[in-house]
Structures are given as C-alpha cells and as structure tokens.
Amino acid sequence: MIASTLIQKPLEAERRSTQWLRQFIFLLIGAGIYLLLTNLAFAHGMSEEEKQSIIEGGNMAYLWLGATHMLSGYDHLAFVFGIIFFLTSFRDIAKYVTAFTVGHSITLIYATFNAIQLDYFLIDAVIGLSVSYIAFANIDGFRKYLNINPPNMMVMIVGLGLIHGFGLSTRLQLLPLSEDQLLMNIISFNIGVELGQITALAVMLLLIAAWRKSHFFQTFSLITNYTLIFWGILLFLMQMHGYEHTTNAEELAPPNASVLGVDAGNSVVSTNTLPAEWQDTVDITLPPRSDTEYKLNVTKGNLFAFTWNTDGGELFYDFHGEPAGDTTGAFQSFDKGTRNQGNGELTAIFNGTHGWYWKNRSADPVTVTLKVKGEYRLPEPAAKAPQPDPSEDGSAKKHDSLF
C-alpha cells in the first residue's frame, strides 16, 4: 500500500507538470500569433503627433525609440532567444550576441546613412526565416533531418545580423530624420536598440537559468524550438502575403474600392461629373530625407480626382483623410506604398481634409507634381511672415510648411 502511494505521487506530479507544460506551449503559440497580427497592423505607420514628438525630443527621442523598438520587436528578440538558448558560459553568450550586434549595427548605420531602401515586407519575411533557422539549428536539424553538417554558426549569426540591420534601418527611415543631425540620429537609435537588447537579454538569461534546473528542461527546450520554427514560418508567410498585396494591389483590390490606386482598375462609378481639365496643379519639392503633407478640404459625398508624379525618384506616400473637428490625431488611410506616381478618385465619406503624406527617403531632392479636379477647397496659404530689416542682426527663419 505504501509502495503504491509512493509510485502514484511521482506519476501525479509528472502528470501535473506535463499538463502545465502543454498549457504553457499553447500560451506561447497564441501570444506569437497575436504579436504577428498586431505587428502587421501597426508596424509600418506613425501618426503626425508621434513624428512631432520625435522632432521636439531630439536625439534622446531616437534613443528611446530604438530601445522600445527592440523591446517590442519580437522577431529580433526571438532570434536572440534562439542564439542563447543552449549557451551556458558568459564567454559564449558574449561572443555570439556581440556577433549579432556587430552585424545588425553595420547595416543599420550604413543603409540609413546612405538611404538604401529595401521592401520592409521582404526584409521581415527573411527575418522570420532567420528565427526558424536558429531554432532548427538548436534541435540539430541539419544532422537529424538533412544528414549534413550545420553551417558555421558564427558566420551565420553575423550574416543574419546584417539582414536584421536592414529591418531596423527600414523602421528608422520611416522617422523624420534630420539632415543636419542624421549621423547622431542614427547613432542614438542604434544605442537605444542595444540598450533594449541588453535589457531583454538579461530577462531571457534569468528565465532560461531557472528553467534549466527543471527536470523537464530538455522537453521544454525541444517544444520551444519547434514553436520558434512555427512562428518563423508563420511570420514569413504573413509578410509575403503583405508584400503581395502591396506589389499587386490592382489585382487584389476589391472591385468597389473607394480609391483608384496607381494603375489600378477599381475606380468608383459615380454620378458626379468631373471637369474635363485639371483645375489645379501644384509642384512640391522634398529635400533629401524629408517629408511633407498636402491636404484638400472636402465635404462628405463630394468627389475629386487626382494624379501625381515625381521627377524620377520614388517616394513613400500615404493617401488619407482626417475628419473635421477630430482632436485625437486619428486618420483613415486609403492607399499607401512606395512609388513615383499615383492617380485615382475619391468620394469623401466624412467632412474633413483629404490628401497625401510623402516621404523622400533618398539622398537627393524629389519634386512632386500634383493635379486635382472636382469638388474641394484648396488649403489656405499661411500668412506671410514679416521680412526682417536688413539693417538688423540675424537672419530670417525659413518655414518648411507648404501652407
């Protein structure tokens, strides 16, 4: 009887441990899916209030953004987690994490400083595969499933770090970088990234050290790495889906979409009659690594058409509207991407401003020529600032706004 009881207690404890582990795994998978979905929804946008706060905050704002980006960048963190999973000595941890840091720092600084642009969906897709790769290496998948020796881990971590750096640079180039303080903006952001990485790394090491003492650590590690492989593949598929929708928007857009994108065939059939000729033409020049907006005042139900093109360079654009009287900073985006031209028509679904945000990520100035026609009011020009007396000391301040 006593022997039976002694046997049942370990079995019951093991059963509870297995049940708890299974619940933990489902939690990991669920959290991963949630993070993937929220990242796709919010990773590639920024409100005007956020941009203004960055400008006013200076280099400290870039440092803070770098830290928070790394701490919320689950794809980068998952890769770091995979690197250190089976490392036990401080020397090995420092060696491999430093290799990753050097890799992503090189491309972050170089690509941003030279305005090198890569499609963010493709970069994030490769980053997803890098997470799967490191987890596959952790389970010795090359020998176990492919019957080959794994590639040199140090070389692979540096190489994948370079790719992660392009991802970080893509995010940084969405910010309102200062041409005069460009290098300091980049360095501040990179320092923030490293501080965020160190913070996350410390938490990871504590968690892994605690788990390593458990008798089912091997089971936990196996399931965790398979979960990382799953997350990486899911991220790859979702980012490729996003890439497909941005590059082939005309094929994937619904037939009754309210906005006609570049070369798209989804124009709204409207009973409104637009003028035959363009009513207004505006030329807008964006200096290197700058951004600007141009808005029309449109009444709900009114229709306007537009076309714009650059003098050669591509711009990131966001065609959007902002409801009149709204003080939250909310806006509705109708179409966005990176191109050198756009055209379409829109029937306003609310009273307010409707127009374009353009960002020049290149190192050369780009001029946009915008033509519009329909039912709208042009933005009122800003009051002209009084000119300073030439006899007085000091120089006039330039105003970057269009209106």
| CA 130, chain centre distance (Å) | 17
| CA 226, chain centre distance (Å) | 26
Q: What is the pLDDT of residue 221?
A: 86
Torsion of CA 271, 298, 310, 273, to 10 degrees: 20
φ/ψ (deg, to 5) at 328:
-85, -10
Mean pLDDT of all residues in the chain? 77
| Residues with Cβ within 8 Å of residue 27, at least 6 apart in sequence | none
* DSSP per-residue letters across 322-379: EETT--S---EEEEEEEESEEEEEEE-SSSEEEEEEEEE-SSS-EEEEEEEEES-BPP
Q: pLDDT per residue over 320-369, tens digit each?
A: 888 888 777 677 888 887 888 888 888 888 899 999 999 887 878 899 99
For 248-311, where are the alpha helices, taking DSSP H only?
Answer: 249-252
Q: Answer yes or no: is pLDDT of 12 > 50.
A: yes
* DSSP per-residue letters across 241-253: HHHHHHHSHHHHS
Q: What is the pLDDT of residue 364?
A: 85
pLDDT band at 182 (very low <50, low <70, confident <90, very high): confident
Among 55-59, 130-134, 240-244, the minimum mean pLDDT is found in: 55-59
Q: Which residues pair with 291 in a beta bridge?
A: 359
Mean pLDDT, rounded, for 101-111: 94
CATH 3.40.710.10 fits 280-374, yes or no: no
> In whole angstroms, what is the distance from residue 96 CA to residue 93 CA?
6
Which ranges in the chain are annotated with CATH 2.60.120.680? 280-374
Q: How many degrees, rounded to 5, is the angle at CA 122 between CA 118 and CA 128?
A: 130
Q: pLDDT per residue over 121-175, tens digit each?
A: 889 999 999 999 999 999 999 999 999 999 999 999 999 999 999 989 888 887 7
- pTM beyond 0.85: the answer is no
> In whole angstroms, what is the distance from residue 381 CA to residue 359 CA?
21
> In whole angstroms, what is the distance from residue 163 CA to residue 103 CA?
8
Give the full edge-to-edge strand order of the sheet including 280-286: 280-286, 366-374, 303-310, 341-347
